[in-house]
Structure 1
Amino acid sequence: MATVDFDIAYKGSSVLTQQSGIQRLVLSHQAEIKEVNEVPCFFWGSLTDPLTTAKCLMTLSKVVRSSFGPIPASLRDPIVSAGTDQIRFEGFSSCNGVYARLDLLEDAIDGEFLASGTTNVDFNEPMLNALNGVKKTEKMVLGVGSKEVSISTDKGKVVEKKVRLPERWIKGLTSVQLYLAGMEEKFRLNKVQVVQLFQSIPRGNVKGEFFLHQRANRFVLSPIANKDSVRIGGIQRLRLLEGILPYIDNMTVYQELGGESCSVVADFKNMRLTLALSPDNYRGFSGEGNVLENMIQAVPDEWVMGVNSLLKSNELFDPTMLSIEHDVDFATMDSLTASLSSVGLLGYDLHSHQHYYRRLPFKMERILSLNPRLKNAKKLLATEGVEIVRNTGDCIEARVAGTDVIHTVIIQGEQSRCTCNWFTNHQGKRGLCKHILAVKMLNN
């Protein structure tokens, strides 16, 4: 599958300067919608715990600069959402198998939100060197606004005229929130237990899966599962958190209901860092496609644009309340939620167990371009490539055109089966194949 890159040009500069012992960081913003670029500043204020914030941002940068699959490390551009009295930094590893988010809560920042919005920033060496040099007693001022991407310190200045954002950046935001929304809390570790756990992680590039167990007052890793264990694929990816171990107050471990992916949430006094791991090193969040089933029902573009103008960045997204307040059918709201997810506009907070809105300006045509299976399913319908041979209400059997072959699709209740290679290889664990999607869309 060909990749699509988006060239983003910045009109202003993201600047990190030091004056009279105060470090000032102003982050540039960029959008596809022109009027959003006219906002001069989203937030301006100081950080109440600059040292812990700097360490967490260094960890986020470590995630963004890493790769655990065949894709070389190349992405360096985490995104920042400012609004609703908090700031979120998010990023993916280049292989899209690791997702990290730093939530700066209300007590972590002391300043003024002038507007609500999202930007992506570049963490170059000058920025990392400046963050690495932050002391506990320093004062650091954070601003989100301005117009190009550049970083300035007492050692020099770096300017980024544009960045290239591969499609997996947005597809990762699409998929990871669905995994997070399907997770439940499994274990809670105190400070001592966290240190003990990380000391037990095998060194080197360890193959195979490990399982996290609780034995008495300790948490241990084992290659053997039991009924209460948490599966962790690519165990070495947890080492990305080693730089913040001394600052963690406690850690919560979550696992997706299907046992595929997991997350750990590190809590600090006034901030929270989430690390989500895909099922294995070779599987990135961007290729899963689990959101497609909720996109079968068409939703007018105006509805998606309306929600985008209604909600602010980081505002909790409650589809039930939106359905009631605006008299929208619940099934339609599910499709609307999926459409918002499909262009990266929704995230999920494990702590509050709710979606939140990410005010990321977008173009509606991305929904199809970023979901080729949905696009191909619509093409099958347009070319009359689907024939329903049996429909008894609780069971549907169809013949669907493939490449030089006719596939059989059977949908019975919540279970769907297809004779294509995609279904054979993945058994529904990575979303519906285009043939099942087409049958469900025709029968909708």
Structure 2
Amino acid sequence: MFMENDASNSAPTHRTRRLLAAATVVVLAALSTVPAAADARRGPAPRAEVGQPDGRSAGRGALLAVTPVATLGRGDVTHFLATAGMDTGTVRHGVRAYRLTYRTVTPQGAPTTATGLFVLPVGGAHRLDLVSDTHGTMVHRDYAPSVGEDFGRYAPYLHASAGRAVAAPDYLGLGQGPGFHPYMDTASSVSASLDMLRASRTAAQRLGRPLTGDVYASGFSQGGQVAMALGRALENGADRHFTLRALAPVSGPYDIEHAEMPGLFDGRINDTSGIFYMTYFLTAQNRIHPLYKDPSEAFREPYADVVEGLFDTNHSEEEIFSVLPATLKDLLTDAYYEKVQHPTGALLAAVRAQDGTCAWKPDVPVRLYSAAGDTDVPMANARDCAADLARHGTRAQVVDQGGVDHNGTYLKSGPQIVRWFDAQAARG
């Protein structure tokens, strides 16, 4: 419902969205044995290859391990981004990428760990500004930036090759972090992202490329919404080591109640994406804000028996799409279909807990990138965000990328954001 997985690129090395109708019966049968609350799975603990686990602090953001994952020359970065269809005019350096493992907290505030991708330019300034890049919707833990070697690394490599360090959190439950991913839980996405900044600061010092403390925040789709909320946390003094300098989110679902939810029913959101996002949202949110006691209250059969198992971070987008029906009406019970049209009670509370990320006054430049052709996150989200910011005294430009689709919005916006960040940095 809310964000497009970045996996719909056509290059042979990238995952491609497709409906595998022939596999539906097989996957349904396999999932029928998965309990409604499947066991959380933990990826293998990465080896600390640079430095040692941080024994000085057991607190949030403490760095536990730094694992090198990739080194690309300038030509390799250019080829990687060009294959995706991106403008490569801002590529100035090769990059070195590391998986960071660090301490953070669950949505309930309990200690846990998470992973993320930290990328440095090869060459350039000794002390580096930092870009916080927060990614869009991902369902399989191996899609996350610190693990997957494809779409999750477009933005990190783009920004690092321009000469900045990049912190790209996997979020909770993705990459090599334990448990489920609390999809669209703004609070825990922000805490995991903020703690990734802290871990990145420590890693940068160990790697001999200290950070200046200046942060440029961006993110795509789900990550666009997270970027706005993270920016607010930084401006409110969440960590004295970091100063927000500019905000440039892309296609964020800033207004679920008034833009995304209605878009499911008025044609602004395509059915395929809408069904996928709605199912992900309901199953993930039910683990945090109970929306139903049994899946059959919200989902029709045979989907009620399998939806929670599908979104366990160990199933691919292809598997999930092969199982879900063609329309929202076929997915939801009559009562829940009506509730999604007119949210009340626990569902409305869950929606509103994620909204409001633009209801504040940034004291830094803000640009909101979107596209009229986006049928996953309609442009009404960006306009509503700009209106919220204006009501609080900040004028933000809405950049319309025209008729491109959801993923195309980022491919077009990313290089523009790099150049805009360059301009903001030059102003001091």
TM > 0.5: no
What TM-score, normalized to structure 2?
Answer: 0.27
User: Which structure carries more strand by proportion?
Assistant: 1
Bigger Cα Rg: 1
User: Which structure carries more helix by proportion?
Assistant: 2
